[in-house]
Amino acid sequence: MSRVVDLTLSYHNNVNGFSKEIARTKDKDGWNASTLTFYSHIGTHMDAPFHFNVSNQTIDEIPVSDFVGDAWVIDARDVGPKGLITVEHISADIKARFKAGDSLIIWTGWSQYAWTQKYRDELPRISEALAYWCIDNKVKMIGVEPPSVADVNNIEEVTKIHEILLEGVVIIEGLTNIEKLTSNKVELIALPLKIEGGDGAPARVIAIER
């Protein structure tokens, strides 16, 4: 029997970059509705190559087949604040079984700090070598718990890592609940909002254990 785990953070009005305002009420207008305002890279979201001008491909132009597939859970919980996630975090067993088109979910436990200053300013980062490994091994998606794959306070680093990965890898940032997975291989489904010309978009991300 399949088990589905939600890897998506919840949005609320205390989140900087998101707001939800009442637009209609059932009592007054006949139905409840809200007006939502959000930054395109807030919460659980996905990046398009256009985010760093790697290409002109925007989020609505990425084939939906790139949003689903087998994924390996990589245990990198030993990486501390501002630490590097490296190729060595991928076990020999996973490397041996990995095939082109598989994805990676990096488990750091960092989502426990979601919406705090530490979450953004001290995040563990993808190493340059791991970014190139993902390209060389044709990783489909890479999902991380921090709000970015690289140090957002270091423009050179954040640009370099995104430029490498976005040459061929779909980036998912802001994952949560990875600790609820019981298998190191799952089916990953990550569906961003289809925003025309979007540099990125919020996404609902789930993992299915079969």
For the entire predicted model, the pTM comes to 0.97
Tokens of 61: 């132009």
pLDDT for 111 beyond 90: yes
Domain assignment present for residue 123? The answer is yes
- Whole-number pLDDT of residue 1: 86
Domain assignment present for residue 155? The answer is yes
What does the pLDDT average to over 192-203? Answer: 99
| AA letter at 134 | C
Residue with tokens 């998506």: 8
What does the pLDDT average to over 69-73? Answer: 99
Domain assignment present for residue 115? The answer is yes
- The total domain count for the chain is 1
Domain of 128, in residue numbers: 3-12+39-209
CATH of the domain at 133: 3.50.30.50
Domain assignment present for residue 34? The answer is no
Cα 204 to chain centroid distance, Å, stands at: 10
50: left (phi over 0), alpha (psi -120 to 50) or beta: alpha
Domain assignment present for residue 31? The answer is no
What is the bridge-based pairing of β-strands 45-47 and 103-107? unpaired
- Whole-number pLDDT of residue 18: 97
